[in-house]
Amino acid sequence: MACRKDGKGRVLRKGEHYRKTDGRYSYIYTDPLGKKRTIYAKSLVTLRQKEDELVRDQMDGLNVYVAGSADVNFLFDRYISTKTELRSTTKANYLYTWDHFIRDTFGKKKIKDVKYSDVLFFYTDLITNKGLQVNTLESINTVLRPTFELAVRDDIIRRNPVDGAYAEVKKRNGGARKSRRALTVEQQREFIDYVAKNPFFFHWYPFFVFLLGTGCRIGEAIGIRWDDVDMKKRTININHSLTYYTRSDNSFKCEFRVSEPKTEAGIRTIPMMGPVYEVLKSEYQRQQEEGFCVAEVDGMTNFIFTNRFGNPHNPQAVNRAIKRIVDTHNAEEEVEAKKKKREPIMLPRFSCHIFRHTFASRFCENETNVKVIQEVMGHADVSTTMNIYAEANPEVTREALEKLAKNMDVF
C-alpha cells in the first residue's frame, strides 16, 4: 500500500508513492493532454531523475508546439483531449478516422509548414489514388479542420489551411456526396417477401420487419429489449442504443457498449404498426419455448434480436446478410424471369441504414404532418426530416399531381 514516507523515512513529494510490498517507487502525473500517467523506479533517486526529465520533456513539447514545429499528430492529440463532451462512439470514430487515414501520412507534417495546397494534394490523392469516396473524405475533413482550428485559436498559425479544401475537391469530383436512395415500394415488397419465403434467410424476417416498420437506427434496433416493449399498449420505448466499436486498449478487438440515442430527440415512443406487433408476438412465443437472451452489455440483457450465438447483432454482420440475400435473390430472379419471359425485379445492394431511409420515405409519402414524422424518426431538427428523407421520385410525383388534379375541381 502506498504511503507518504518511504522505507527509510524520507518524505515523499506530491504524486510520489512507495509500495512496501515490493519496495518500488512511482510518480503519478497529468500530461499536457490531460491524461493520467505513471512512471516507476526501483529507487527514490532514480524516480526523481525521471521526474526532472519528464518536466524538461513536457516543456520542450509545449515549446515545440508554440513554435509551430510540432507535427499535426501532436495537434490532433491535443485537440481530441479537449473534447470531453463527445460521446464515446463519436470519439472512437474520430480516432479511427485519424489513425486509419491521417496519422502515418499527413499527420507527420509540421504544423507551421502545412499550406492550403498541401491539404488539396492530400485530399486529391485520397480520392484519385486511394479510391476513397467523397463521403469518406467528408469524415476526414470533419476531423482535420477543427484540429487546425485549435492551432489558429492558440495563435500558433494565422489561418486554417483546411478551410475550403474539401469543397474544392468535392466540386472537382462530381459535386454533391453520393446520396442514399430508399427502396421503392416494389423493391421493398420483393425483398421482404423473398426473406419470408426463403428457408435459409427466414430467421432474419422478424428483425427486418422491425427495421422497416419502425425506422429505428440500427444501434437502437439491435439494442431493443423486451423491457422496452409494451405489447398491451403496442408501443416501443427507444431510450438507448447499442454500439460496436474498437476497444481503447489497442487490443484490436471490438465490443458492444450501451449509449444514449444519437440526440435527445432520439428518446421517443413509437406506436407499433400491425406487422411489427405480429412479428414481436411470434418472436416472444418462440423465445418462451427456446429461451430468452442472457447476454449482458453494460448491465443490460433481455435483448430481443440476437444471432445464433445468443448475442446482439453486429451491424456489419447485418450488412453482410443483406448483401447475401440481395445477391442470391437477383441470381434466382434472373433465371425465374427468363423462364416466365418477363422483366426481372432486381434489388440494389444496400446497407441496413436504408431500412430507416425506406421507412421514412414511405412515411413522408403518406403523412403530411412533418412534426409527427420528425417525432417518430427521432430527429432533433425538422430540416433533417425534410432534406434527407423526404425523397421525391417520378412515381410519387405523378401520383401527387393526379391527386391534386382530382381534389382541385378548377379545371
Query: Would you list the DSSP string of 317-385?
Result: HHHHHHHHHHHHHHHHHHHHHHHHTS---PPPP--THHHHHHHHHHHHHH---HHHHHHHHT-SSHHHI
How far is C-alpha 3 from the chain's CA centre?
A: 45
62 CB neighbour count, 10 Å cutoff: 13
How far is C-alpha 295 from the chain's CA centre?
A: 22
pLDDT, tens digit, for every residue of 303-324? Answer: 999 999 999 999 999 999 999 9
3-state secondary structure of 124: helix
What torsion do the CA atoms of 375, 378, 380, 386 make, to the nearest 10 degrees?
-70
CA dist 348 and 183 (Å) reads 8
Cell 512507495, residue? 18
Residue 312: per-residue pLDDT: 93
Taking the complete model, does pTM exceed 0.75, yes or no?
no
Residue 104: per-residue pLDDT: 94
The whole-number mean pLDDT for each consecutive block of 10 residues of the chain, a chain of 411 residues, reads 72 87 86 74 88 67 67 91 79 89 94 94 93 90 95 90 93 66 92 96 96 94 96 95 68 72 82 95 95 92 94 93 97 94 93 92 81 82 66 59 58 49
Domains of the chain, start order: 2-66 (3.30.160), 72-172 (1.10.150.130), 185-401 (1.10.443.10)
Distances (CA, A) of 46 to 40, 169, 205, 240: 9, 54, 65, 50
Q: What's the grid cell of residue 307? A: 444471432
The closest of 314, 350, 294 to 218, measured between CA atoms, is 314
CA dist 57 and 37 (Å) reads 14
3-state secondary structure of 19: strand
CA dist 236 and 352 (Å) reads 20
Distances (CA, A) of 64 to 165, 174, 404: 27, 40, 68
Helix axes 44-66, 72-82, angle to 10 degrees: 100
